[in-house]
Structure 1
Amino acid sequence: MKRTVLSGSFCMVMTVLPAASVQAAQATRASFGHTADGQDVEIVTLTNDRGLQARVMSYGASLQSLLVPDRNGKLADIVLGYDALQGYLDHRQYFGATVGRYANRIAHGKFTLDGKNYSLTLNDGPNSLHGGAKGLDMQVWKVTDVKQGPNASVTLEYVSPDGDQGYPGTLTVKATYTLSNDNELKIAYVATTDKPTIVNLSNHTYWNLAGEGSGTAMDQVLTIPGNAITTVDAQSIPDGHVVPVAGTPYDFRVGKPIGRDIGDGHSQQLLFGHGYDMNWVLSHKEIEARMVARVMDPHSGRVMSLWSSKPGLQFYSGNFLDGTTVGKDHHIYRQGDAFVLEPQLFPDTPNHPDFGSARLAPGETYRNTIVYRFGTDSGRNDIK
């Protein structure tokens, strides 16, 4: 059947394969290896009745692989990563990982909360990135629940102690991955704290809808309905300005190939990031979940739409994949071979009051639900 989705400037038509019957989606769990200190890392495989398969690893609560059919029904793994645990342990590249406590950057690793100054571990030059030197992506999470269909799911939990990487409060985080028979993968993040803290969680999967290891993803057609970006300095820290995308290489309001304008040397932002690595302003506060991005691969016909309620979307075009990473099936990953889309709060929000608030207090619940919907199109380069 054909599904038409209207959302703001989007009008999307994609083919969704009808289910022959309502069957239970399957979930299995197994060991994926051990860390150097002997912790067992599990991998849970979720499979729906159309063949879509997600593998979720307890190291970093990470999406390790995702098999999705193309327009001819051929399955391919569309996320970058490693075949074995050791690759993730040896090379911190955030492949598929849950990032936090604060996704993205905090300038100089410093912020003030309720009149008290805090200093975080630094791991990105003079700044703190994705939670610091040992963020949530480097922790072994506990698998607390595994369920079978009609929707298969796995829930993982990690308790980050007070002072971890410099963050105040004991933070209890849960990540639930759910796979439906409608080819929808949902990641629901929930967090609570025992004292005021800051939280911004997201997922850092590297996507290539043609299949990991297939080469460049720069011809894949991206749409982002954001009217502005938060500009950054040479350290990729927001400079406090919000600028319109109209007339710039950052305008993806009408879908275009990712690489079409990536070589525009007039853009200081592209020079700073060696490509796209910036936050799109979708709203100035959390609103009802809506489509925040759509990607279509013209070769395979795979379409992914991304839904979230968060105000920002960090888009990164795989600029620092430099040909030294050997991933799954011995594939070498090079610049532009994948992209990352992270729904989240704006980067460095704790140091920019105009950006909103990242504060979480005892008795409150932080949530970020990210939904990926997969289908195929008829092969046109874009559908508006």
Structure 2
Amino acid sequence: MRGIERTTVGKVPDRPATEVESYTLHTGTGFAITAWSYGATLVEVLAADRDGRYANVCLRLPDLDAYLDRARNPYVGATVGRYCRCVAGAEFTLDGVRHRLDRNEGPHHVHGGAEGLDRHVWSAEASRDGDALEVRFTATSPDGDQGYPGELTVCTSYRAEPDGTLVIAHRASTTAPTVVGLTNHAFWNLAGEGTIDDHRLRLTATEAVRFDADLVPLPGPPEAVPGTARDFTAERALAGVRVDNCFLVPGEEELAALTHPASGRVMRVSTDQPAVGVYTGDWFSGRPRGGICLETGAFPDAPNRPDYPSVRLDPGETHRHRTVHRFGVADAG
């Protein structure tokens, strides 16, 4: 089967655009993805193992009600923003003006606030581009939303290619100077079931952010990871390994390789972003270690850190973010 399948999965109470749409992109090779308009959320990615059997390798929740319930849904598969990760003290200064954000994680602001982009119902359209299929979600965050200045228009797209390539892209524009940092919060499990303990991970990153107990970056430069518990420069098994950190991306070549030896599935990741958050899902109450997040994007607390790459966005500019996931199989043994 090749084509675009659109269905309705339910309604969100008390929202202007209440109907939630599901789009499945069937590439014709078996590789397929499904995304929903609620939170511009990636719900399924069907990838083959070495024997040609397909499984969903993107952790999903059972139904729309589960996605609507924050207690059961730690941003599973969602587009996160306006600012992913943390803003320390839930405030930042821009052009001499102090902006106070929604405090949704103790004294801090995390992943865009209690009503971030992951809680919006986005508009959607899907199309073909040669052999590739794409669905594009668009949302508008009004001036002052969660404390952010400027009206922000955001587009998140998912592009599926027959060779097993998934491209996730974000674009944003603003009506006033603001800060932007978007990411996708998928939990990956290449077995399609169980935990990630039988997975292996390699990162090209050689530096990581140093955090305090609240996962707020400490002053000073990043930490070199070779020889530490955060060293994944050589492929490592994830069994017994807990990670919740942010690594520096050394370039736009391959950033990460996640493998599942039993099935042979491999996911290779590259991005144009400066950082990647790696989280092994240990505190996901519904399914601990059911998947691993590889959240490409901006540095945590960059709005308050002039030593980090800038996250400022001005009118007339376009924020762009592109991450590529390539699915394949490794040789047995």
* TM-score normalised by L of structure 2: 0.95
Please state if 1:310 is matched with 2:273: yes
Report the equivalent of 2:227.
247
Taking the aligned partners of 1:183 and 1:295, their CA distance within structure 2 comes to 15
Taking the aligned partners of 1:172 and 1:165, their CA distance within structure 2 comes to 15
Please state how far the C-alpha of 1:147 moved relative to its aligned partner: 3.1
**Contact 1:26-1:148 at 8 Å conserved across structures:** no
CA deviation profile, 1:130-163 (whole Å, cap 9, x unmatched): 1011110010000134336511111110011000
Please tell me the root mean square deviation across aligned C-alpha atoms, in Å: 1.4
Please state if 1:280 is matched with 2:250: no
Report the equivalent of 1:31.
8
* TM-score normalised by L of structure 1: 0.83
Taking the aligned partners of 2:219 and 2:3, their CA distance within structure 1 comes to 47
Taking the aligned partners of 1:118 and 1:112, their CA distance within structure 2 comes to 6
CA deviation profile, 1:96-136 (whole Å, cap 9, x unmatched): 10000001111111111111100110111111111011110
Report the equivalent of 2:283.
320
For 2:262, which of 299, 307, 310 is the aligned residue?
A: 299
Report the equivalent of 2:314.
361
Which letter does structure 1 place at the counterpart of 2:152? L
| Secondary structure, aligned partner of 2:255 | strand
Report the equivalent of 1:226.
205
For this pair of structures, how many residues does the alignment match?
328
**Contact 2:88-2:108 at 8 Å conserved across structures:** yes
For 1:124, which of 105, 126, 138 is the aligned residue?
A: 105
| Secondary structure, aligned partner of 1:26 | strand
Please state if 1:238 is matched with 2:229: no
Please state how far the C-alpha of 1:37 moved relative to its aligned partner: 2.2
**Contact 2:244-2:277 at 8 Å conserved across structures:** yes
Report the equivalent of 1:350.
303
**Contact 1:67-1:76 at 8 Å conserved across structures:** yes
| Secondary structure, aligned partner of 2:197 | coil
| Secondary structure, aligned partner of 2:46 | strand
Please state how far the C-alpha of 1:314 moved relative to its aligned partner: 0.5
The change in CA–CA distance for 1:357 and 1:148 in structure 2 (over 3 A counts) is closer
Report the equivalent of 1:16.
none
| Secondary structure, aligned partner of 1:218 | helix
**Contact 1:25-1:149 at 8 Å conserved across structures:** no
Report the equivalent of 1:17.
none
Which letter does structure 2 place at the counterpart of 1:302? R
**Contact 1:25-1:152 at 8 Å conserved across structures:** no
**Contact 1:27-1:148 at 8 Å conserved across structures:** no
Report the equivalent of 1:10.
none
For 1:100, which of 59, 63, 81 is the aligned residue?
A: 81
Which letter does structure 2 place at the counterpart of 1:62? T
**Contact 1:109-1:128 at 8 Å conserved across structures:** yes
Which letter does structure 1 place at the counterpart of 2:201? L
Taking the aligned partners of 1:350 and 1:196, their CA distance within structure 2 comes to 12
| Secondary structure, aligned partner of 1:137 | helix
Report the equivalent of 1:166.
147
Please state if 1:51 is matched with 2:18: no
Taking the aligned partners of 2:129 and 2:3, their CA distance within structure 1 comes to 5
For 2:52, which of 62, 68, 73 is the aligned residue?
A: 73
Report the equivalent of 1:257.
237
Taking the aligned partners of 2:264 and 2:126, their CA distance within structure 1 comes to 34
Please state how far the C-alpha of 1:29 moved relative to its aligned partner: 1.0
User: Which runs of at least 4 in structure 1 moved beyond 6 Å after TM superposition?
Assistant: none
Taking the aligned partners of 1:69 and 1:202, their CA distance within structure 2 comes to 25
Taking the aligned partners of 2:152 and 2:163, their CA distance within structure 1 comes to 33
**Contact 1:44-1:55 at 8 Å conserved across structures:** yes
Taking the aligned partners of 1:136 and 1:377, their CA distance within structure 2 comes to 36
Please state how far the C-alpha of 1:240 moved relative to its aligned partner: 2.4
Taking the aligned partners of 1:216 and 1:240, their CA distance within structure 2 comes to 35
Which letter does structure 1 place at the counterpart of 2:257? R
Which letter does structure 2 place at the counterpart of 1:372? H
Structure 1 unaligned runs (5+)? 1-23, 263-274, 326-332
Taking the aligned partners of 1:25 and 1:114, their CA distance within structure 2 comes to 50
Report the equivalent of 1:21.
none
| Secondary structure, aligned partner of 1:357 | coil
Please state how far the C-alpha of 1:34 moved relative to its aligned partner: 0.3
Which letter does structure 1 place at the counterpart of 2:29? R
Please state if 1:187 is matched with 2:168: yes
Structure 2 unaligned runs (5+)? none
